[in-house]
Amino acid sequence: MPPAVTVLFVSDLHLDPADALGVRRFTNFVEREALGATQVYVLGDLFEAWVGDDDDEPLLAPIVAGFQALRDAAVTCYLMHGNRDFLIGADFCAATGCRLLGDFATIDVFGRRVLLTHGDLLCTDDVRYQTLRAQLRGGPWQREFLAKPLAERRAIAADLRKMSAVEIASKREEIMDVNQATVEDTMRAHGVSSLLHGHTHRPGVHRFVLDGEAATRIVLGAWYEHASVVRWDETGFRLETLSDR
């Protein structure tokens, strides 16, 4: 009997080269899970911060090597930008074999149309974040930032992370979650009844009715303590937490 065809989805790994445990969690995932899949989708925030494809941090090597191992094993890897790593570009993809997706991607998973997104665009109640996002994703800001020396970019990224932590601590939790009306409008616009995303760090499966039909929103968890993954095969999907052992 041929091996089961499996597609894996992850998000919000928040890999930091200085966090050896987090990097090892990723390499374990590659070796134990991803090498046995046919496709792997990373739905944003692969890194805690990404300051440009010219980053020469040597501790990034195991992460790059992990993706290269998947490429060499003919496992197709797709990557979305998150709010922490939206500067990942063509050079990183060329080095790793990852294929970069846009903010929304509709795919067929065993006959089921599924909309993929990082998730931050669904959090429309957080108006301040959406305003900042629009600025940071704009060409002028990115060109100016990437023109700065690498050391300066690292310092700016560290400051932005501190500011983000303060901002998050001051917000009500419900503001940082998705807006249900936005979820439904987005699913209608893409003609799907299944949505898969990360960003909110609130793993779960939400079932509701959309225009008289059953709909599902699957949320991946962050990897701060354990790896969160959606495993999808011909029998359906499973939202799982992987052991570090």
Q: Is residue 132 part of a domain?
A: yes
For residue 199, which of 240, 168, 237 has the smallest C-alpha distance?
Answer: 168
> Over the stretch 157-189, which tens digit does the pLDDT of each residue have?
999 888 878 877 777 777 789 999 999 999 999
**pLDDT at residue 1, rounded to an integer:** 38
**Is pLDDT of 3 > 60?**
no
Can you name the residues that pair with 37 across neighbouring β-strands?
none
- DSSP summary character for residue 47: B
> Over the stretch 38-85, which tens digit does the pLDDT of each residue have?
999 999 999 999 999 999 999 999 999 999 999 999 999 999 999 999
CB atoms within 10 A of CB 243: 9
Look at strands 39-42 and 104-109 and give their pairing. Answer: unpaired
Q: Is residue 2 part of a domain?
A: no
> Over the stretch 106-146, which tens digit does the pLDDT of each residue have?
999 999 999 999 999 999 999 999 999 999 999 999 999 99
Q: Is residue 1 part of a domain?
A: no
How many domains would you assign to the chain?
1
Whether pTM > 0.85 for this model: the answer is yes
The span from the CA of 200 to the CA of 61, in Å, is 28
Q: Is residue 191 part of a domain?
A: yes
For residue 215, which of 106, 114, 111 has the smallest C-alpha distance?
Answer: 114
- Please, are residues 136 and 86 in contact by the beta-carbon 8 Å criterion? yes
**Is pLDDT of 4 > 90?**
no
Q: Is residue 19 part of a domain?
A: yes
Can you name the residues that pair with 84 across neighbouring β-strands?
none
Domain around 27: 7-242
Between 33 and 165, the higher pLDDT residue: 33
**pLDDT at residue 206, rounded to an integer:** 98
- Please, are residues 9 and 196 in contact by the beta-carbon 8 Å criterion? yes
If you average pLDDT over residues 226-243, what whole number do you get? 96
**Mean pLDDT (the chain, rounded):** 94
> Over the stretch 83-110, which tens digit does the pLDDT of each residue have?
999 999 999 999 999 999 999 999 999 9
Amino acid found at 182: T
Look at strands 227-233 and 7-10 and give their pairing. Answer: antiparallel
The span from the CA of 94 to the CA of 68, in Å, is 10
What's the CATH number where 13 sits?
Answer: 3.60.21.10
Q: Is residue 173 part of a domain?
A: yes
